[in-house]
C-alpha cells in the first residue's frame, strides 16, 4: 500500500492541510480561516481553540478530498506563523489567547531590553533584532501587565508547537521557529542562558529543542478521533513557516534566494555559517536542516498594502483585477512612490511607528498609478534587504519567487527589474505546508535528508523571467529616492537607527 505525507501550515489568516505522495505530488489541499482579534489598537490575538478546530476540520477535509485512507499516512509535519506566544499551564491548557507576531503592545519592552542589555549583547547572543510580537518582549509585557497569567504559566509555546502538543501531548520545539523568539542563540542551537539570566526568565518556561525533521511523538486518541487519522501516527516537529516554505521551494543551498510576498514580505538566503548583521537590521535564523542557517529581511505590509488599497480606495476589484489595472500604468508611475509602512516596519528600520505614504501625487495620477505604485513600493522595500545581504557578503544570485508574488506576471516582472536578477519559480503549491510534509517524510525515513527531499519533490517552471534593462535603469533611479524617503518623513530618526 502506498504511503503519503500530511503537512499542516498554521498561517495568520488560515490553516492549510495538504496530502502529498513521496514524490511531492499533491493529492489534495484543504484550508480553514479564523479571525485576528484586536481588543485595543495595535493588539493582535488569536483564539487557540480556533486554530485547533481549523486543524481538525482541515485534516478531515483533506483526507476525504484526497481519497487517502488513514493507514496510508506515514507521518505528519507542521509549519506555523512565527514569533507568537501561547501560555500553557501545568495541565497543558492555554491560559489566554495567543499573542501573535502582528501585535505591537510590547514596544516599551523592546526599548527597555535594548537599553538594559545593549544591541551588542543581543547581536552576540541571538544574532537578531528585537521587534514587537516576538516571544521575548511579549513575555515581559505579560509579566508586567498580567502577573496572574505569568504566575500560572508552565511553558511558553510557539503557535505550531501548541498545535503539535494537541496532537501528541508532548511539549517541545525546534530551532527554525525557536530562533525567531528573541530568546534563542542560533549559533549554539539552544536557548540563550545569559539572556535569560539577565532578564530573570526561568529556563523551565521554554520547551526542549529537537531537530526539525525528528519524531516528536505519536497521535493521541483524542486527536485521532477529531482528525480521522489512526492513533499512533508519527508526528514530526516541523518548522517555522519561512523555513518550511524555503524547503518546499528547494531553497537550501547558499546562493539561492527566496522572495515571498504574502500578507507580509520576506527575503530569505541560506548560509552554511551564521552571518549576523552587526547592526541588527536583518534576522538570523536556523534552517530546518541541521547545520544550515538563513538570513532574512522582513517587511510587515506587502500584500497587506494591496489589501488596504482594495478595501479602502479601489473597492470592487479583486487582486487579479488590481494587478491588471496596475499593469496599464508605466514603470515608475510618472513620479508616484509608495512607502508600504502601514503597520510600522522591520527591515531595515525596525520601527513600529513608521508610517506609509504616497509621495509625488499629481492631478495626472489615476487608479492604475496608485495600484502600480503600491506594488512597486513593496518590492522596493524588499530590495533594501537584498542590499544589506550583499553588503554582508551573503551569496544571493538565484531569485525564486514565492507566495502571492507568483500570482500575476506584473509581480514577477517587478521583482526581476527591481532586484536586477532573473526570477525563477517552482511548481510547488502551498510551499510551507509542502515543506512541513517534506519534514514529515524525513522523520519517517521516506527521505534521507532535506537535500534528498528537494531532489525528489521540487519541480521547476521552464519559464525564467529576465530583467528588462530599461526598467532596471529606471527603477534604480527611483529606488535611490525611495531609500531616502523614510528619513525625510521621520526627521528625528538617524541613519544609524
Give which of 356, 327, 487, 289 is closest to 414, Cα–Cα.
327
Which amino acids are annotated catalytic? Answer: 241
Contact 348, 388 (CB under 8 A): yes
Helices marked H in 47-199: 48-66, 107-117, 119-125, 135-145, 147-152, 159-168, 175-178, 193-198
Q: What is the DSSP letter of 173?
A: B
Distance CA 14, CA 12 (A): 6
What does residue 160 show for φ and ψ, rounded to 5 degrees? Answer: -70, -25
Distance CA 70, CA 234 (A): 12
Cα end-to-end span (Å), the chain:
59
Burial group, residue 387, by CB count within 10 angstroms (0-12, 13-18, 19+): middle
Burial group, residue 189, by CB count within 10 angstroms (0-12, 13-18, 19+): middle
CA 446, 447, 450, 455 dihedral sign is negative
3-state secondary structure of 227: helix
Contact 287, 248 (CB under 8 A): no
Contact 105, 40 (CB under 8 A): yes
Cα dihedral 246→379→350→280 (10° resolution): 50
pLDDT at 54: 98
Contact 8, 16 (CB under 8 A): yes
Give which of 158, 134, 301 is closest to 240, Cα–Cα.
158
3-state secondary structure of 270: strand
Q: Compute CA 301 distance to the chain's CA centroid, rounded to the nearest angstrom.
A: 12
Q: What is the DSSP letter of 467?
A: P
Along the chain (497 residues), what's the average pLDDT of each consecutive run of 10 residues?
91 95 91 94 95 98 95 97 97 97 93 93 93 96 98 98 98 98 96 97 97 97 97 98 96 94 92 92 95 95 92 91 96 97 90 92 97 98 96 92 88 97 92 96 96 94 95 97 92 52
pLDDT at 368: 97
pLDDT at 496: 39
pLDDT at 201: 97
3-state secondary structure of 288: coil
Distance CA 333, CA 337 (A): 7
Largest CA distance in the chain: 67
- Structural domains of the chain sorted by starting position, each given as residue range(s) with its CATH number in brackets: 4-243 (3.30.420.40), 252-425+467-497 (3.30.420.40)
pLDDT at 479: 97
Amino acid at each position: 500500500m502506498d504511503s503519503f505525507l500530511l503537512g499542516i501550515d498554521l498561517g495568520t489568516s488560515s490553516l492549510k492541510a495538504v496530502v502529498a505522495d513521496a514524490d511531492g505530488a499533491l493529492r489534495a489541499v484543504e484550508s480553514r480561516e479564523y479571525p485576528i482579534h484586536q481588543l485595543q489598537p495595535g493588539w493582535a490575538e488569536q483564539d487557540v481553540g480556533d486554530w485547533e478546530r481549523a486543524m481538525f476540520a482541515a485534516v478531515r477535509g483533506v483526507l476525504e478530498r484526497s481519497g487517502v485512507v488513514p493507514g496510508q499516512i506515514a507521518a505528519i509535519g507542521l509549519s506555523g506563523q512565527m514569533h507568537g506566544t501561547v501560555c500553557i499551564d501545568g495541565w497543558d491548557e492555554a491560559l489566554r489567547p495567543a499573542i501573535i507576531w502582528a501585535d505591537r503592545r510590547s514596544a516599551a519592552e523592546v526599548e527597555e531590553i535594548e537599553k538594559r542589555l545593549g544591541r551588542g549583547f543581543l547581536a552576540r547572543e541571538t544574532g537578531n533584532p528585537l521587534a514587537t510580537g516576538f516571544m521575548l518582549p511579549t513575555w515581559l509585557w505579560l509579566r508586567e501587565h498580567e502577573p496572574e497569567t505569568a504566575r500560572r504559566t508552565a511553558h511558553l509555546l510557539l503557535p505550531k508547537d501548541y498545535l503539535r502538543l494537541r496532537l501528541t501531548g508532548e511539549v517541545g520545539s525546534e530551532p527554525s521557529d525557536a530562533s525567531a523568539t528573541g530568546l534563542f542563540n542560533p549559533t549554539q542551537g539552544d536557548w540563550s542562558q545569559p539572556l535569560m539570566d539577565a532578564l530573570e526568565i526561568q529556563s523551565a518556561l521554554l520547551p526542549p529543542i529537537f531537530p526539525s525533521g525528528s519524531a516528536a511523538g505519536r497521535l493521541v486518541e483524542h486527536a485521532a478521533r477529531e482528525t480521522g487519522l489512526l492513533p499512533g501516527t508519527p508526528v514530526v516537529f516541523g518548522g517555522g513557516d519561512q523555513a518550511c516554505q524555503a524547503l518546499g521551494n528547494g531553497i537550501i543551498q547558499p546562493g539561492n534566494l527566496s522572495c515571498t510576498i504574502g500578507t507580509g514580505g520576506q527575503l530569505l538566503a541560506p548560509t552554511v555559517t551564521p552571518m549576523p548583521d552587526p547592526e541588527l537590521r536583518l534576522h538570523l535564523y536556523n534552517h530546518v536542516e541541521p547545520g544550515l542557517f538563513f538570513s532574512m529581511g522582513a517587511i510587515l505590509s506587502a500584500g497587506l498594502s494591496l489589501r488596504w488599497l482594495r478595501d479602502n480606495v479601489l473597492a470592487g476589484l479583486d487582486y487579479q483585477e488590481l494587478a491588471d489595472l496596475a499593469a496599464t500604468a508605466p514603470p515608475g508611475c510618472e513620479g508616484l512612490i509608495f512607502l508600504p509602512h502601514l503597520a510600522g516596519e522591520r527591515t531595515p528600520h525596525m520601527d513600529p511607528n513608521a508610517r506609509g505614504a504616497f509621495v509625488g501625487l499629481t492631478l495626472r495620477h489615476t487608479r492604475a498609478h496608485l495600484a502600480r505604485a503600491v506594488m512597486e513600493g513593496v518590492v522596493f522595500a524588499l530590495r533594501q534587504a537584498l542590499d544589506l545581504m550583499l553588503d554582508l557578503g551573503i551569496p544571493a544570485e538565484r531569485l525564486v519567487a514565492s507566495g502571492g508574488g507568483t500570482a500575476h506576471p506584473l509581480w514577477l516582472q517587478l521583482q526581476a527589474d527591481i532586484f536586477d536578477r532573473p526570477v525563477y519559480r517552482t511548481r510547488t503549491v502551498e510551499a510551507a505546508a509542502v515543506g512541513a510534509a517534506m519534514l514529515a517524510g524525513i522523520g519517517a525515513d521516506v527521505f534521507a535528508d532535506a537535500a534528498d527531499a528537494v531532489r525528489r519533490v521540487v519541480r521547476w517552471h521552464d519559464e525564467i523571467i529576465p530583467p528588462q534593462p530599461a526598467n532596471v535603469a529606471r527603477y534604480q533611479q527611483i529606488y535611490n529616492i525611495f531609500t531616502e524617503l523614510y528619513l525625510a518623513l521621520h526627521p528625528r530618526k538617524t541613519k544609524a537607527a
